[in-house]
Amino acid sequence: MKKMIALALLLCATHVFSQTIGKVANSPDAFVPSGYVVTEKISGDLNGDKQKDWVYIIKSTDKRQFVENQFQKIVDRNRRGILIAFAQPGGFTLALENLSCFSSENEDGGVYMPPELNVSIEKGNLYLHYGHGRYGYWMYNFRYQHGDFQLIGYDASDNFGPVTNSDVSVNLITKKARFRQNENADAETDGEERFKTTWKSFTGAKPILLKRIKDIDDIDVLAMLGLRS
C-alpha cells in the first residue's frame, strides 16, 4: 500500500512538472504566472541553437509584502524570480521557472544600499551579478548543460572603495579556485594593490542547479565546495 501511495505521489509530481517546464507558447509573456509582473527582460542564445532565447526577471505583486522600511517609507518587499524561454520553430518552450529565488530590490541595506542584481548573457552563459558599490561584488555563472542551468563559475571581490582587499574566482568545470589577498595596506586606489595568489583544487562537487535554489542569498558556494577555511 505504501509503495502504491509513493508511486501515485511520484506520478502526480511528474504530471505537475510536465505542466510547467516544457510548456509551449507563442510568446514568453504567456509563461508569466498570474499575480506576477516582469521587471526585466534580456535575450540571447542560451542553448547553442543560434535562436534568441529570453530571460525574464519577474516579481510577485502580493500587497501584504508592501511594508514600511527603516526610513518610514512603504516599499515593495516581494521576492523576485526568473523565467527562461527557449525559442523553437513557431514559438517558445519554458526551460526554467523559479518564482522566488531572488530577494526584493528594496531589502534593508543598513547604512548602505542593498546589493543590485544585474542579469546578462555572454557567450551562451547566464550571469547573475550582484554589485555592492564600494564594497565589491559577487557573480554566478550558469550554463545550460545536461538539460539544466548548472553553476559553472563563481567570482567575488571584497573592496574598500577603489581598493580590492581580496577576491576569488572559482571554476566548477576545471574544479580549481584562485584566491588573491592584497598585502599592501597602504594602497589607496585601484592598481596599488600587491596580491598574494593562492590556488586550491576541489573534487566531488554536487551540481548547483538554478531551478533548485530557494534563496540565492543563502548559497555559500565556497562552503559547499569545501573551500572556506
Q: What average pLDDT does range 48-69 have in this prediction?
A: 95
Percent pLDDT > 90 in the chain is: 80
Residue with cell 542569498: 217
pLDDT digit string, tens, across residues 106-162: 888 766 788 999 999 999 999 999 999 999 999 999 999 999 999 999 999 999 999
pLDDT > 90? residue 21:
no
Encoded amino acid at 33, one letter: P
- Give the span between the Cα atoms of 158 and 167, in whole angstroms: 6
pTM: 0.88
pLDDT > 70? residue 83:
yes
Cβ-contact 76, 104 below 8 angstroms: yes
Closest CA to 58 of 83, 75, 23: 83
- Give the span between the Cα atoms of 2 and 39, in whole angstroms: 45
pLDDT > 90? residue 94:
yes
Strand blocks (E) in 45-102: 53-60, 66-68, 74-76, 80-88, 91-102
Cβ-contact 171, 201 below 8 angstroms: no
User: What was the pLDDT predicted at 111?
Assistant: 67
DSSP for 189-209, please give it. STT---EEEEEEE---PPP-B
C-alpha cell at 195: 596580491
User: What was the pLDDT predicted at 229?
Assistant: 66
pLDDT digit string, tens, across residues 166-183: 999 999 999 999 999 999
